[in-house]
Amino acid sequence: MDPCPFVRLSVCNLALKIPVASKPAHSVVHPSSAPCFCKIKLKNFPLQTAVVPCILPESQFPDGQVQSHAASFHLNKSDLDKLVAKSLFGGGRLYLKISIYTGRQGSTCGVNSGRLLGKLDVPLDLAGTESRSVLFYNGWIVFGKEAKNSSAQFHLSVKAEPDPRFVFQFDGEPECSPQVFQIQGNIRQPVFTCKFSFRTGDRNQRSRSLPLEHSSSRGWLSSFGSERERPGKERKGWSITVHDLSGSPVAAASMVTPFVASPGSDRVSRSNPGSWLILRPGDGTWKPWGRLEAWRERGSADGLGYRFELIPDSAAAGIVLAESTLSCSKGGKFVIDLGTSVPTNGKSTPGSSTSPACSPRGSGDFGYGLWPYCMYRGFVMSANVEGEGGSKCSKPTVEVSVQHVNCTEDAAAFVALSAAIDLSIDACRLFSQKLRKELCPSQELLS
């Protein structure tokens, strides 16, 4: 089947020039002392916020300046059709709306801390962008006067480019060993089957998974996981194997470090996370491809924290591709997107991901710099995750960029990773709460 058409709308290369008055005035913002940010809005999509660097009025941009992503909007075929139809037949043009503020992001006592400097609209025409790249704007815009006889200027680049993706959907909860379908429009075609089980060798566990596993691959599992017995509450031994339609195993996710309640607590802590090894077949055994760690954050957010790292064949250490949080109650999206900028506070927003720590965080065309240690760049994959409080059956939908799928095993590895992040919601559930029977085989055997 062909991939589904997607378009990535990118906002990049932000900068702000604000004139400095010869005499200090309360109405004038001095870029040397005031941080700035902007809010970026596309119709019917969530608002995105980005830091805007201030540069001296005499400076040139982008010469000698860091270029990076500020925001990205991912549009599927349905999104495109609605936006194009509205601009053609709705009697008005489509705009990307940007509001620019001085001050720090956030609010104090319910009042926004930033002061509005000005607003600007960038007209968009998305027709045909699923098959060709379009640069809507690249340069400076005068958007308001901050000093007498002088104007503030805002630099940005806005570009739409095709970003086709393969879309897969589980036909049920990962722990129920579902089929996985490839989706294109109204067409659903089975491509994989999943087998959830409990790894041989764990106490009171049954069933055998990872059929390629033998002595050499067990070495991988033990080197990345923990084999020591842990007293108290723990969840361990879960695994899910992805098979192609011929029945051959093409990827797997194996829990290699148990999810254990921290001492005196009922939760898996960040200081002692559980972990999964994502495996691919090779040379008659399983080879590690990636490692996913997960834990339960404290505080009012009560989120699922996670970190995913790639395990290159020749590298001594893993390369972090995503690190963020999801809502345990509401769920969200697990995303690997290496074209987005990294927040200055070192934290990302829930449901998003950060760029790898050792990769260039913005260089070249729209932030896609050459990274010799990893073939992944731009949007890589996303998977929706159902939260604990969701009334729906969790049927993860997985989107994978076409540029990162060269064979069946490539797609299967991302499917296994999405199953692992979905199962981590259950693995990190408070130990005072019961798990569904599919995740508790020892109880099943005793009943």
Q: What is the dihedral of CA 323, 328, 330, 331, to 10 degrees?
A: 40
pLDDT of residue 151: 75
pLDDT of residue 272: 94
Count the residues in the chain: 447
Res. 346: pLDDT tops 50: no
CA-to-CA distance for 87 and 173, rounded, in angstroms? 39
CA-to-CA distance for 190 and 180, rounded, in angstroms? 6
Q: Looking at residues 378-384, what average pLDDT do you find? A: 94
CA-to-CA distance for 340 and 99, rounded, in angstroms? 19
* Residue 385: band (very low, low, confident or very high) from pLDDT cuts 50, 70, 90: very high
pLDDT higher for 75 or 104?
75
Res. 348: pLDDT tops 90: no
Res. 25: pLDDT tops 60: no
Pick the range with the lowest mean pLDDT from 43-52, 82-91, 184-193, 251-260. 82-91
Q: Looking at residues 426-445, what average pLDDT do you find? A: 79
pLDDT of residue 225: 53
Per DSSP bridges, beta strands 234-235 and 259-260 are antiparallel
Residues 6 or more apart whose CB falls under 8 angstroms from that of 169 comprise 180, 181, 183, 188, 395, 396, 397, 398
* Residue 201: band (very low, low, confident or very high) from pLDDT cuts 50, 70, 90: low
Say which DSSP state 19 is in: P
Considering the chain, what percentage of its residues have pLDDT values greater than 70?
A: 72
